Amino acid sequence: MIVVPQIKGLGVPAAAVQAAGDGTTYVETEAGRVDVKVLGSGQGLAIVEGVAVGDKVRVGLGTPKDAQTAPQPSPTASQSEC
């Protein structure tokens, strides 16, 4: 059995997280590019710092109307092993 420490934070669709050429990660919001720190990921979600509850993040190359609202943070989120 592998035990992974719990991670708390805001979950966004993993597909919304992009990597810049310098290795930093970011998401696109209605306000533009926002740098984020990925704390963990699994099952299609990325737990990040840098966005607020309610921020809409763009998934893929969609238009602003395709943006998804970031869900409320869960009390605990765990990192999955791929």
Residue linked to tokens 């310098």? 22
Per-residue pLDDT of the chain (82 residues), as tens digits, is 888 788 889 999 999 999 999 999 999 999 999 999 999 998 999 999 999 999 999 997 654 455 555 555 443 333 333 3
Q: Which of 55, 59, 81 is nearest to 69 (CA)?
A: 55
**Structure tokens of 77?**
């989120």
pLDDT for 54 equals 92
CA pair distance 18, 59, nearest whole angstrom:
9
pTM for the predicted model, two decimal places: 0.69
Residue linked to tokens 């990925």? 38
| Per-residue pLDDT tens digits for 14-27 | 999 999 999 999 99
Integer-rounded Cα Rg, in Å, for the chain is: 13
**Domains, the chain, ranges and CATH?**
6-65 (2.40.420)
